[in-house]
Amino acid sequence: MATFQLNVNGELHKVEAAPNTPLLWVLRDNLSLTGTKYGCGMAQCGACTVHLDGTAVRSCSTPVSSVENKKVTTIEGISSGEELHPVQQAWIAENVPQCGYCQTGQIMSAVSLLSKNPAPNDSEIEAGMSGNICRCGTYERIRKAIKRASNTSAK
């Protein structure tokens, strides 16, 4: 076990964990941030997506020892106070979720995509979201929500 200092959603936390512990389990078990989900444990499904310094990564395959001195952002950290992030608002406007389990990871991927490409076309959305599986099959609405958020941000 070792002690790590993490910057999660702008707050500093000291956590005790084995160095190879995936960030996912530190977020969930140590910090009770359960919005980040387990889906596969091998970076295949994207349910665990968080941002490291603003870029989407799969927290299930990111050792906690590698994230010190980096800013970790989870789904709990993307809205400012009561006002939801424009991507979250777009998700609500398009009624995207069905079961909802994968959607936090989808949103984190979408936020990262839009931060790098504010107006993605269909194939760019497909490429940017290809690492996220939704077993309920909400892909069409995810695409629509990303376009909606893109348009909102552009205005």
* Nearest distance in Å: CB 131, another protein: 8
Residue the block writes with tokens 């910057």: 7
Q: Which DSSP state fits 76?
A: G
Dihedral pair phi/psi, residue 131, rounded to 5°:
-85, 0
Contact pattern for another protein over residues 87 through 106, marking x by CB under 8 A: -x--xx--xxxxxxxxxx--
In three-state secondary structure terms, 115 is helix
Residues 127-146 that bind another protein (CB under 8 A): 129-130, 132-143
Contact pattern for another protein over residues 24 through 63, marking x by CB under 8 A: -x--xxx-xxxxxxxxxxx-xx-x----------------
* Nearest distance in Å: CB 13, another protein: 15
Contact pattern for another protein over residues 7 through 26, marking x by CB under 8 A: ----------xx-xxx--x-
Q: Give whichever of 108 and 154 is closer to another protein, judged by the CB atom.
A: 108
Q: Give whichever of 21 and 112 is closer to another protein, judged by the CB atom.
A: 21
* Long-range residue pairs from 89-95, CB within 8 A, at least 24 positions apart, any chain: 89/149, 89/152, 90/145, 90/146, 90/148, 90/149, 90/152, 91/145, 93/145, 93/148, 94/141, 94/144, 94/145, 94/148, 95/141
Interface size with another protein, residues (CB under 8 A): 60
Which residues face 141 on adjacent strands? none
CB 74 within 8 A of CB 8: yes
Q: Give whichever of 74 and 150 is closer to another protein, judged by the CB atom.
A: 74
CB 48 within 8 A of CB 58: yes
Which positions touch another protein (CB under 8 A)? 1, 17-18, 20-22, 25, 28-30, 32-42, 44-45, 47, 74-76, 79, 84, 88, 91-92, 95-104, 107, 122, 125-126, 129-130, 132-143
